[in-house]
Structure 1
Amino acid sequence: MAEVSNPAVVAPTEAAGKASSKKLGTQLPYLASPGSIKTALDRIREAAAPERVHLDFVNTILKMKGGTGAAVIPFLKKIGFVASDGSPTELYKRFRNKTSGGAAMAAAIRYGYKPLGDSREYFYKLDDKDLLNLIVEVTGAELNSSAAKQILYTLNALREYADFAAAQPGDGEVQQTSIQEGSSGGSRPGGADRSKYEGVGLRLGYTINLNLPATTDQAVFNAIFRSLKEHLLSYGE
């Protein structure tokens, strides 16, 4: 495990990700108060998993208020713990289990800090000096910028929970569908159960008024109704 730097050397602010006025070229997740992620993660393990991770959950259950609490949700989304709809992902649930939590955090780090992994596969094993240099290289930030340091401190806080040796190959490739749709959204089944879901969707009702020709020729009526069936009534079959 790499040595964890003391985040106290950076004066914390309430806003996350705005420590430097210079916009970073490649964005990496960080909190302006890096120590707050440890508070959030410890309380996430203690609390029951909610249907949605919203501000009231963070304020009331995780007991994190103000700007610090507000910054937690977008950060959890960036590391793959919370889906775009606010629902906890499988990584979130696996992290709560201390047996699988280390591997889950390793996967979250690989996902959230993928640009670092693209540059150095084993970036998570680097010491603070080399990791900071890599962050500066990837983001384009200044070496002494508070943003680069806060990325380092935030990542170090996450590394305390991670067990990369227990992580399975491909764990870092968090499935985008689960993050975008949420774990509660499910997926459409295949096989025999699929037939129950086929055709489920928007249903429209409509009224058709026909002006029929004045004729007694049955073939004319047959042609009209056959055309209706082929072009309207059979849509979606």
Structure 2
Amino acid sequence: MSLPTAYLTSTKNTADILRAMQAAQAPDRFTIKFLEGLGYAGSNDRAMVNVLKALGMLNESGIPTRRYHEYLDQTRSEVVLAQAIREAYSDLFKVNKNANTMTSTDVRNKMKTLSEGAYTDRVLTQMAATFAALVKMADFNTTSLDEEQSLVGDSAEDEVALDTPERRAPGRGGNGRQAIGDLVYNINIHLPESRDPAVYDALFKSLREHLG
């Protein structure tokens, strides 16, 4: 089951904590003390450390990962967070690929089913609220960095596939083919039997004049 066991007991400061992270330099280790330094010393806020670990922004030792540093780029932060949410809550997105658009009640019910009764109703409500608070700060409509790289790779492969003798136009195709516009012609020449070289010279001269 891929549902984070980390959740927030209160989500009122979630957006502010994420913004504070972006405004600060990445720490060597993201600790409770660092969180307090951002201005969030409440006991409810401390759970954010484990949530960031679940999102893949911190490793188990609290050291910021590459994703954390990517998140600091405010031009891409919402997209980075969306990708992190998709991965952390992958089972939820398997049930509904647009899980980010579900209501908190629907999310809670799906989590209850996925967890097979492992959590109390109170905990499930807080887990759903945590998911909803994170989703509000994410952009699920813009292509992610990984998806962009994948699309670029696919485009390059398509371009190579299209750049074949059959598709080059206008001009002469390869492998004995003549390309005119998007049409490709295979030309087979049956030479007449003759001992006179002038016959063949005249034939090939005519081909050059008409086919180019």
* TM tier, smaller: 0.5 to 0.7
Report the counterpart of residue 31 of structure 2 in structure 1: 54
Runs of 5+ unmatched residues, structure 1: 1-23, 172-237
Q: Secondary structure at the match of 1:35?
A: coil
C-alpha distance in 2 between matches for 1:89 and 1:42: 17
Report the counterpart of residue 100 of structure 2 in structure 1: 124
C-alpha distance in 1 between matches for 2:78 and 2:2: 30
1:79 equivalenced with 2:79 (yes/no) = no
- Among all aligned residue pairs of Structure 1 and Structure 2, give the percentage whose two residues are the same amino acid: 24
Quick check: 1:28–1:139 contact (8 Å CA) kept in 2?
Answer: no
Match of 2:64 among 84, 88, 96: 88
Report the counterpart of residue 126 of structure 2 in structure 1: 150
Q: CA RMSD in A?
A: 2.7
C-alpha distance in 2 between matches for 1:36 and 1:161: 12
1:88 positional shift = 1.2
Decide which structure has the larger Cα Rg and report it. 2
Runs of 5+ unmatched residues, structure 2: 148-212
1:115 equivalenced with 2:101 (yes/no) = no
Q: How does 1:1-237 map to 2 (within 5 A)?
A: 27-60=4-37, 62-141=38-117, 145-168=121-144
1:106 aligned partner, one-letter code: A
C-alpha distance in 1 between matches for 2:57 and 2:136: 17
Quick check: 2:15–2:137 contact (8 Å CA) kept in 1?
Answer: no
1:49 aligned partner, one-letter code: A
C-alpha distance in 2 between matches for 1:140 and 1:35: 28
| Greater RCO (CA < 8 Å, at least 6 residues apart) | 1
Give the total of aligned pairs. Answer: 147
1:90 positional shift = 2.1
TM-score (norm 2): 0.60
Q: Secondary structure at the match of 1:99?
A: coil
C-alpha distance in 2 between matches for 1:25 and 1:50: 28
Quick check: 1:95–1:105 contact (8 Å CA) kept in 2?
Answer: yes
Q: 1:26 to 1:140 in 2, by over 3 A?
A: farther
TM-score (norm 1): 0.54
The C-alpha deviation readout for 1:155-187, integer Å capped at 9, x for no partner, is 11111111112243857xxxxxxxxxxxxxxxx
Report the counterpart of residue 222 of structure 1 in structure 2: none
Bigger strand fraction: 2
Q: 1:66 to 1:110 in 2, by over 3 A?
A: same
Report the counterpart of residue 206 of structure 1 in structure 2: none
Report the counterpart of residue 213 of structure 1 in structure 2: none
The C-alpha deviation readout for 1:126-174, integer Å capped at 9, x for no partner, is 2333222212211234998111111111111111111112243857xxx
Q: 1:25 to 1:51 in 2, by over 3 A?
A: closer
Which moves more between the two structures, 83-92 or 143-152? Answer: 143-152
1:27 positional shift = 4.8
